[in-house]
């Protein structure tokens, strides 16, 4: 999946702003796991929006969540009730990431086509070890929203500390997933070599060139 570096620079700057606001104005804003509710309320205040979260009893296979935006500044985030707790957290944060991104080129009414294309891209990524390219801008937007959600729920500074612990064998992906209440696959994604380079690049853009470590890894998920 090809990711645009220029957009990463802007997105990680926005992530830094959200994280700074939470730490400055939220009581215990640096707690672990990161509070989705703190992210929700902070983004709402920063962008002068009313963000609502609704857990809905839907029976869907691929659609886990969606964000509805209204002209009056109201945002409704709908999340599938059957999702496990950690997946609900990530789904909500991914939809909030769409709010943060909020560029007109990211808007899409083609929900069915976007879902269909995401499924196809996921299959291609598996077959080609992540080297496939997105068929349209909406799919790139979904990938970027997922990367931004990882950064918000599992910030770079925490990942750097965990990198050391993983190398020493003091922790595992499964333990990190429990600690941060993030799906195991997202923890694995955050520490995958290819995404580490992407996330570090975005972090370096916002922090002025801080060196990130990214090397071949073979850590266990257990």
For the record, the structure tokens of 112 come out as 């069915």
Ramachandran class of 93: left when φ > 0, alpha when ψ lies in -120 to 50, beta otherwise? alpha
Say if CB 210 and CB 204 are below 8 A apart.
yes
* Amino acid 129: pLDDT: 47
Measured distance CA(189)–CA(176) in Å, rounded? 12
Strand 65-69 and strand 50-56: the pairing is unpaired
* Amino acid 181: pLDDT: 97
Residues 141-176: tens digit of each pLDDT: 788 889 899 999 998 888 888 989 999 999 999 999
Measured distance CA(175)–CA(94) in Å, rounded? 22
Report CA dihedral (127, 131, 133, 138) to the nearest 10 degrees.
90
pTM for this model (two decimals)? 0.77
Among 59, 100, 57, which Cα is nearest to 78's?
57
Among 130, 95, 137, 148, which Cα is nearest to 114's?
137
Backbone angles phi, psi at 168, to 5 degrees: -85, -5
Measured distance CA(18)–CA(22) in Å, rounded? 6
SS3 of the chain: helix, strand, coil, percent, to 5: 60, 10, 35
Q: What is the pLDDT along the chain (222 residues), one digit of tens a residue?
A: 445 566 777 788 888 899 999 999 999 888 999 999 999 999 999 999 999 999 999 888 778 899 998 989 999 999 999 999 999 999 999 999 999 987 554 455 554 454 455 445 444 443 444 454 444 566 777 888 898 999 999 988 888 889 899 999 999 999 999 999 999 999 998 888 555 555 565 555 445 433 344 444 444 555
Among 35, 8, 13, which Cα is nearest to 22's?
35
Among 85, 66, 90, 95, which Cα is nearest to 187's?
90
């Amino acid at each position: 999946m090809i990711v645009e570096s220029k957009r990463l620079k802007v997105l990680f700057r926005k992530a830094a702003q959200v994280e700074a606001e939470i730490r400055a104005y939220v009581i215990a804003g640096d707690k672990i796991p990161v509070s989705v509710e703190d992210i929700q309320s902070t983004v709402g205040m920063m962008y002068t929006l009313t963000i609502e979260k609704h857990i809905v009893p839907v029976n869907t296979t691929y659609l886990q969540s969606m964000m509805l935006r209204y002209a009056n500044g109201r945002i409704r985030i709908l999340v599938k009730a059957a999702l496990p707790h950690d997946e609900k957290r990530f789904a909500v944060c991914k939809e909030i990431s769409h709010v943060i991104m909020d560029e007109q080129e990211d808007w899409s009414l083609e929900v069915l086509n976007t879902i269909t294309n995401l499924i196809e891209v996921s299959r291609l990524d598996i077959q080609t070890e992540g080297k496939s390219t997105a068929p349209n801008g909406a799919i790139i937007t979904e990938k970027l929203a997922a990367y931004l959600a990882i950064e918000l729920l599992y910030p770079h500074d925490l990942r750097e500390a965990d990198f050391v612990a993983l190398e020493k064998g003091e922790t595992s992906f499964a333990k990190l997933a429990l600690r941060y209440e993030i799906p195991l696959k997202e923890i694995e994604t955050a520490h995958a070599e290819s995404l580490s380079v992407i996330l570090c690049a975005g972090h370096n853009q916002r922090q002025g060139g801080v060196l990130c470590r990214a090397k071949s890894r073979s850590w266990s998920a257990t």
